[in-house]
Amino acid sequence: EAEVAQSPRYKITEKSQAVAFWCDPISGHATLYWYRQILGQGPELLVQFQDESVVDDSQLPKDRFSAERLKGVDSTLKIQPAELGDSAMYLCASSSGTSGGRGDTQYFGPGTRLTVL
């Protein structure tokens, strides 16, 4: 069964350092999402791509976060510099995108657990 791949699974860093997370969506999925999940809360969308284009990054803290999906396949989310409040689970999801994302089932990867010290 096809899955969304993410790496690393765990990352510990010190504040002010740079970190990067990688996501490989299910093959053929046009829509890719990055979510942040703080302990005790539900996932919150950071950025959504349709192919290589950003369609929603309204909740992305753009002063320190960046995301790219250069060839419309895999994606990288970067934080620079990391702050203590960035400690969370970072989840990647993908969907087929055949209807522009609306109503498409989103399939999630295992996530990257980030701890900022």
Q: Find the part of the chain contacting other proteins (CB under 8 A) among 11-19, 48-56, 68-76, 78-86.
A: 48-56
Q: Which of 67, 111, 114, 116 binds other proteins (CB under 8 A)?
A: 111
Q: Does 108 bind other proteins (CB under 8 A)?
A: yes
Q: Which of 1, 27, 40, 63 binds other proteins (CB under 8 A)?
A: 40
Report d(CA 60, CA 66) in Å as an integer: 8
DSSP for 5-54 reads EEE-SEEEE-TT--EEEEEE--TT--EEEEEEE-TTS--EEEEEEETTEE
Contacts with 108 (C-beta within 8 Å, 6 or more apart), sequence order: 4, 35, 91, 92, 93
Count of CB atoms situated within 10 Å of the CB of 116: 20
Q: Which of residues 66-105 bind other proteins (CB under 8 A)?
A: 91, 93, 95, 97, 100-105
Q: Which is nearer to other proteins, 16 or 99 (CB)?
A: 99
Peptide bond into 8 cis (omega under 30): yes
Q: Does 31 bind other proteins (CB under 8 A)?
A: yes
Q: Which is nearer to other proteins, 80 or 99 (CB)?
A: 99
Residue showing tokens 């699974």: 9
Binding site for other proteins (CB under 8 A): 4, 6, 31, 33, 40-45, 48, 50, 55-56, 91, 93, 95, 97, 100-111
